[in-house]
């Protein structure tokens, strides 16, 4: 079948040139008769290269070509076209061979003297990546919330077991719960769900850093969600004990927190208290100590060492930077 391509092209040119989406025009034989600049950028072929070529062999992935051709023949025979005049999502094929998601709408027109199929195609790769990222974040958030509820239940049970009275339980439980909440707040809105170690440390030690009783130093590190929640609880317990029983309970004491990373990406974090404790005989066991040990093992996949030196407590944590 012969088409007056010059006249046809001139009539469609204004539509093709002003469209924001890729526009591809196909005749009833399945050959490309129109192709705008957006289509060139989207698929990688120039208009001269594709004009007259079978559309299914140019932009349709091989596994969908039979269905495409079958649909065209079915429409010409019956007038039924389930994909016409509505938006659908299909897979497109670039010149490089890459497949990608496309939003497609197709209309059939005879206003140029011959029946033509005009397709408007939009590359939705970025939208698909965004949806996938959001889905991953929702799944991670759901997993994290369930884990946190389990942790809260364990904290409540164990805190009640070790508490001397109701007031003691309320103080300890509220403090641990607030620590979890603050750590979770650091994760909110993070596209990659990672938190800088300095941000976490500032959250725990902030007031004493400002007062000059605490300091911290180390390279900038990004922690995974599980590491953030676990380390937050560990630092909270160490800080609470320092304020109640250790070096920070008096005016002369001080605290230093330093960390480094070796070539094997192993983090060494050292908590050093300097100053006499207010309660030298404070218990060295209890839920706080057990929780630190559990968090180091389960959340950080690491180890903990405690050294009660004459000048104050020293705690060393070692864990891999990348969560396993």
Q: Which domains does the chain have, with CATH numbers?
A: 5-123 (3.30.450.20), 179-320 (3.30.565.10)
Q: Which residue has the tokens 């039979």?
A: 66
Residues 315, 237: contact at Cβ < 8 Å? Answer: no
Give the pLDDT of residue 157: 67
Give the dihedral of Cα atoms 209, 215, 217, 222; nearest 10 deg. Answer: -40
pLDDT at 285 over 60: no
Give the pLDDT of residue 279: 67
Percentage of residues in the chain having pLDDT higher than 90: 39
Q: What token pair was written down for 196?
A: 């800088």
Q: What would the mean pLDDT of 44-59 be, rounded to a whole number?
A: 95
Give 103 or 224, the one with higher predicted confidence. Answer: 103
Q: Which long-range contacts (CB under 8 A, 24 or more apart) does 62-65 make?
A: 64/90, 64/91
Give the pLDDT of residue 255: 93
Query: Is residue 14 classed exposed, middle or buried when 0-12, 13-18 and 19+ CB atoms within 10 A define those classes?
Result: exposed
| pLDDT band at residue 205 under the 50/70/90 scheme | confident
Residues 232, 284: contact at Cβ < 8 Å? Answer: no
Give the pLDDT of residue 252: 83
Please give the C-alpha separations between residue 203 and each of 16, 173, 239, in angstroms, as whole numbers.
Answer: 57, 18, 11
Write down the pTM of the prediction.
0.51
Q: What would the mean pLDDT of 75-102 be, rounded to a whole number?
A: 92
| pLDDT band at residue 190 under the 50/70/90 scheme | low
Give the pLDDT of residue 215: 93
């Amino acid at each position: 079948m012969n088409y007056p391509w010059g006249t046809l092209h001139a009539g469609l040119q204004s539509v093709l040139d002003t469209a924001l989406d890729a526009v591809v025009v196909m005749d009833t034989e399945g050959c490309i008769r129109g192709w705008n600049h957006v289509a060139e950028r989207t698929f990688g072929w120039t208009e001269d290269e594709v004009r007259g070529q079978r559309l299914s062999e140019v932009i349709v992935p091989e596994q969908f070509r039979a269905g495409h051709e079958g649909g065209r023949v079915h429409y010409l025979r019956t007038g039924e076209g389930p994909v016409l005049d509505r938006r659908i999502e299909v897979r497109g094929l670039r010149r490089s061979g890459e497949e990608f998601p496309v939003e497609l709408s197709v209309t059939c027109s005879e206003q140029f003297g011959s029946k033509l199929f005009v397709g408007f195609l939009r590359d939705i790769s970025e939208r698909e990546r965004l949806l996938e990222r959001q889905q991953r974040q929702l799944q991670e958030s759901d997993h994290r919330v369930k884990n946190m509820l389990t942790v809260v239940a364990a904290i409540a049970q164990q805190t009640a077991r070790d508490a001397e009275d109701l007031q003691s339980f309320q103080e300890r439980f509220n403090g641990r719960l607030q620590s979890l909440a603050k750590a979770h707040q650091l994760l909110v809105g993070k596209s990659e769900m990672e938190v800088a170690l300095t941000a976490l440390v500032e959250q725990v030690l902030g007031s004493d850093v400002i007062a000059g009783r605490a300091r911290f130093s180390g390279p900038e590190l990004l922690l995974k969600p599980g590491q953030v929640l676990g380390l937050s609880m560990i630092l909270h317990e160490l800080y609470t004990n320092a304020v109640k029983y250790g070096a920070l309970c008096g005016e002369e004491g001080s605290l230093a927190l330093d960390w480094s990373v070796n070539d094997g990406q192993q983090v060494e974090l050292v908590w050093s208290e300097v100053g006499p404790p207010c309660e030298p005989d404070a218990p060295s066991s209890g839920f706080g100590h057990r929780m630190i040990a559990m968090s180091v093992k389960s959340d950080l996949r690491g180890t903990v060492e405690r050294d009660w030196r004459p000048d104050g407590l020293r705690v060393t944590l070692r864990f891999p930077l990348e969560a396993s």
